[in-house]
Structure 1
Amino acid sequence: MPPVPHYDGTIDPLDHLETFRTMMFLHGASDGFFCRAFPTTLTGAARLKPNSIDNFVYFGDDLVRHLMSSRRPRKTAVSLMALRQEDGEPLKASVSRFNREALQVPHLDPSAASNALLVGAKSNEFRRAVARRNPHSLMNLMAGTEEYISVEETLAALDSNWRRTSEEEKNPTK
């Protein structure tokens, strides 16, 4: 069985608990095994006294309550609206950052994601391209975004090549 990462109380306890439960269910473990195995995944301030778990279902709720201060607030579509493309940041990097955040929003509506991406982008040309596409799914939104980035990078490379060739023609080396 692959090891479950250790939990020290500094990250969201629900993430750790769900990872552990998934691993145990995957291997068909019994509730008794859950109770004996779970303490081995805890370190530091999260460590428990031996044999302190006798029912895993109730224990999970107790653990979350006990470690509530470590719990991360859940991301929402509204939190995506605060993301902005930084000055000088390439669109590809900005969209990558947006994607990492969007993955943390449960049941993200495609139109909300599209609006957040449009609000945060600096390029009006990009905004037009996304708005024209009117994505009906997150996959469609990202496909259009990747297509735009690919075209933008290709044009930039061609422009750079054209400038270099033009400079070489103006200043031929002997």
Structure 2
Amino acid sequence: MATYDYRSSQGRSADPRIPPWFSRENEALRSSARTVASPFTDEILNALNPRRFSILLFILFDETTDPIDHIYHTQLKMALNINNDPLICKCFPTSLTGPALNWFKNLTQGSIASFQDLCDKFISQYYGNKLLAKDVLSLFTMKQHEDEWLQTFLIKFNLVKSMVMECHPSIAVQAFKLTMNRGTPFHTNLVLNTSKTIDELNKRADGFVCLEEEKATNARKTSIISTEDKSKAKIQQKQAPPQRQTSWKVEKRPREEELVTPLKVTLELEKASSDADH
């Protein structure tokens, strides 16, 4: 059986049947764990790793998210090697960054003998980041805004529901009906035929989400066409020949009676004047 000693300058397998690449890969993992004084015990550092194992890429923890969720994510990534306690211990630090990585480096040397020890210390350090479970009443305090899309509200509602530890399906459906906009097609559909579970409600909502998106698309198309028509009208107006401008003063046409010169003397006076001349 191959034996390893991380303090040995050789660091090689005593079994010639183990290929060199396997020895180099195990040595690389152990070296990465010994960059600083490791908090892991010698049993963890010297443990053999599975053949053809490559370090996985984890979501990095920067001490701003839920530590329990991070541990759960790590276990999911290590599903094939979940029972290999030393291996998951050596892989876990690769998921830390920033202040969280500094916290790990400052742990007491040799203080971690198992993954459970590591989890206990990790959760204790970042327990304040743990997402608190919500009460059922938090579902009833939600409200869909007048201009909020159905899909957006569904995502928000399902997120809050996922943080409620115990919630009967019928209560969740009732909460959704009371908090969504009333009078919408989907609300009317739920009133006429209530869903039994949130999963059923989400499936029924898919058709109404598509309908909502189609209406929004048609509205955008109509708006674009209207804008184009207005632009064309402006262009045509600019290209049209200018009309002859007339004076704002309209010349007043004289009336027919104004064209006749008025008599300045009467007929009697004119006859008298004629007799005097004779």
Q: TM-score range by the shorter chain?
A: 0.7 to 0.9
From 41, 44, 53, the counterpart of 2:112: 53
Question: Aligned runs of 1:14-163 on 2, under 5 Å?
Answer: 14-28=68-82, 30-46=84-100, 47-48=103-104, 49=107, 52-105=111-164, 108-125=167-184, 126-151=186-211
**How far apart in 2 are the matches of 1:41 and 1:149?**
38
Question: What one-letter code is carried by the residue in structure 2 that aligns with 1:15?
Answer: D
Equivalent pair of 1:130/1:144 in contact (CA under 8 Å): no
Moved more, 91-100 or 153-162: 153-162
Instruction: Tell me how far 1:18 sits from its aligned partner.
Output: 0.7
Q: What TM-score results when the alignment is normalised by the length of structure 2?
A: 0.50
Shift of 1:124: 3.0
Query: Following TM superposition, by how much is the alpha carbon of 1:133 offset from its aligned partner in structure 2, in angstroms?
Result: 2.1
Q: How far apart are the structure 2 equivalents of 1:59 and 1:140? A: 41
**Using the alignment, how far apart are the partners of 2:88 and 2:174 within structure 1?**
43
Structure holding more helix per residue: 1
1:12 aligns with 2:66: yes
Q: Deviations over 1:128-165 (max 9, x none)?
A: 32132221222211122223344455577789999xxx
Change (3 A) 1:39 1:136: same
- 1:34 to 1:120, Cα distance in 2 relative to 1, 3 A: same
Range 64-73 or range 149-158, more displaced: 149-158
CA–CA distance in structure 1, aligned partners of residues 182 and 198 of structure 2: 20
Distance change >3 Å, CA 132–CA 58, structure 1 → 2: farther
The whole-number CA distance in structure 2 between the counterparts of 1:93 and 1:141 is: 15
Unaligned runs of 5+ residues in structure 2 are 1-54, 223-232, 237-278
Residue identity in the other structure for 1:109? H
Retained in 2: the 8 A contact 1:35–1:56? yes
Local SS of the residue matching 1:3 = coil
**Which one has more relative contact order, counting CA pairs under 8 Å at least 6 apart?**
1
SS in 2 for 1:7: coil
Report how far residue 70 of structure 1 moved. 1.2
Aligned AA for 1:56?
F
Matching residue's letter, 1:114: V
Change beyond 3 A, Cα 1:5–1:96: closer
Q: TM-score, normalised by structure 1?
A: 0.74
- Unmatched segments (≥5 aa) in structure 1: 163-172
Tell me the matched-pair count.
167
| Residue identity matched to 1:111 | S
Aligned-residue CA RMSD in angstroms?
3.2
- Structure 2 distance, partners of 1:160, 1:14, is 45
Q: Residues 51 and 43 from structure 1, CA distance in 2 versus in 1: closer, same or farther, beyond 3 angstroms? A: farther
**Larger radius of gyration, structure 1 or 2?**
2
What whole-Å deviation, never above 9, does each CA across 1:11-69 have from its counterpart, x for those lacking one? 00001111112222324561111222212222222231465422112321232122111
